[in-house]
Structure 1
């Protein structure tokens, strides 16, 4: 049996989380001595398909190109996957909004259990996933003939995007299910690195006090470090930063090389989203703040004094 990865893409390029998902698939492929296929579903996706063919470790790219797949409607993508699903032992998708929309539908139609948010592969049928906001790791074994998995990108190092030479094969797209329709999409345009793929993140919390302070204190530091901006849920709920910036259990899961938490107390929900970071720096006036429990470096003091001093020193 073979392994199938469903690619997330924008019709022109492959999203970064797909590379991490292929990395998870590569572990399974090594254990089972099988190959990896990547499915690209959409409309006018030849560029994305060519990019998928260059991903390291991929043997074949399956392209479903049809108008009804243009907007990534879950029902149509799911039906297209089901046309070929029986030929695969494992179906993997990134644990992103896109993947979480598709995988449960596939699992339900196949009458198998979905294993969500895996961070490690122990064997072909046994996987690890975080529970209780990341405070415990569950080891889950599945006896289903087809394993449907969503992959937490921060759990696997991305494979190379440019050294593969997979073949490309066209497959038939399922007919329009007709149960949903695309209305509109608002795409956030960033002048900074995307949060989930950034190597450095400067993140702010309730301690900043206002949206004005968030911008005034954090943006100069992020500019110097060429970093992405993040925020705690408290900061987002207070209107300091947009929802796209939220890091945590109900936001985005990140694992950058450097995470600078400024004015963030360290609620368990926030820690669940960032404690996989390689180096964590915390700046907070409360020396008892939980964030210092996971920080590699901590600075206790007034952030309105310390952060500008740090920015000036860089």
Structure 2
């Protein structure tokens, strides 16, 4: 998000600021400074080690009330989707959720997101309330490049945090749970995805075999997930993960707008579909028209041979 924030700030001739909240988070400040942040606000407290809606929303609302930013962007993660609406409600502000695009028009933040079940892309503005706030889907925006300079102003913000009155408390944090299908789609450089056109749960082995050869993650469209062919954790699209791998191979995926918003920022898109009019070809760099049940095994075999030679 910092790369996009920097772009928006430059157009508005304003500063790009980062807010770091937690325990011992100051160590991460240089990473943001080298990515061209102008100011970094540090809120450190041992009670902020774990995320609590009440404590974090209190900190963020306090920061916003004190420093009065023009635009506030949150990641559309589990915590971000919990935090942003609480802050918006407390400050009586608008909030656009799950944005896939941000730009400036007439000095206002133009927030683009899927609407009406993903059938259209809506542009939303907040002409009066400030700050303008939005949550942004992970992996949609390009990462800010690392610069040689490290000149951000570091601002320590003291806070008082009381955990005694919390309605919900953390008992245990469990991390490192692996994806049900190997590499998580949101971390993968290469993804092989299957859709309704795969034909059956058994045929998904063709997708898995190709993914294994490429050391890729296995993805899927919502249709394949709804049919029970693959776990929900692998779904790519509006109601699944937003991904931006180096290579995205779409097998038997028609290319509904709901799916496209989740993968169209991939560097290279390869589509395999028997329908030459399938929408997926409109965003693909390379397309193969034909039966995936014939093409994918041949592709897997050819790649396996080529990679073994190297």
Q: TM-score range by the shorter chain?
A: 0.7 to 0.9
Distance verdict in 2 for CA 1:185–1:240, change over 3 Å: farther
Distance verdict in 2 for CA 1:52–1:242, change over 3 Å: farther
Paired residue secondary structure (2:43): strand
- TM-superposed deviation, 1:121: 1.7
- TM-superposed deviation, 1:50: 4.4
1:195 equivalent among 185, 202, 205: 185
* Higher mean displacement: 284-293 or 60-69: 284-293
Distance verdict in 2 for CA 1:242–1:26, change over 3 Å: same
Normalising by structure 2, we get a TM-score of 0.79
2:31 equivalent among 44, 51, 60: 51
Answer with 1 or 2: which has the greater Rg.
2
Q: In the aligned structure 2, how far is the partner of 1:102 from the partner of 1:267? A: 30
Q: In the aligned structure 2, how far is the partner of 1:162 from the partner of 1:81? A: 28
**Is the 2:247–2:266 Cα contact (8 Å) retained in structure 1?**
yes
**Is the 1:248–1:272 Cα contact (8 Å) retained in structure 2?**
yes
1:255 matched residue in structure 2: 244
2:2 equivalent among 1, 7, 22: 22
Q: CA RMSD in A?
A: 3.0
Paired residue secondary structure (2:193): strand
Q: Deviations over 1:15-73 (max 9, x none)?
A: xxxxxx1122212321333322211212243443443343x111232222334322222
Distance verdict in 2 for CA 1:169–1:293, change over 3 Å: closer
1:230 matched residue in structure 2: 219
2:132 equivalent among 136, 144, 147: 147
Q: In the aligned structure 2, how far is the partner of 1:256 from the partner of 1:294? A: 14
Normalising by structure 1, we get a TM-score of 0.78
2:308 matched residue in structure 1: none
1:92 matched residue in structure 2: 73
**Is the 2:43–2:156 Cα contact (8 Å) retained in structure 1?**
yes
Q: In the aligned structure 1, how far is the partner of 2:126 from the partner of 2:56? A: 27
Paired residue secondary structure (1:138): strand
Q: Does 1:60 align with 2:39?
A: yes
Trace 1:1-314 onto structure 2 (pairs within 5 A): 21-54=1-34, 56-86=35-65, 87-89=67-69, 90-116=71-97, 117=99, 119-123=101-105, 124-132=107-115, 133=118, 135-153=120-138, 155-161=140-146, 163=148, 165=150, 166-173=152-159, 174-176=161-163, 178-183=166-171, 184-185=173-174, 187-189=176-178, 194-196=184-186, 198-209=188-199, 211=201, 213-214=203-204, 216-287=205-276, 289-314=278-303
* Structure 2 gaps, min length 5: 304-310
- TM-superposed deviation, 1:97: 2.7
- TM-superposed deviation, 1:294: 4.4
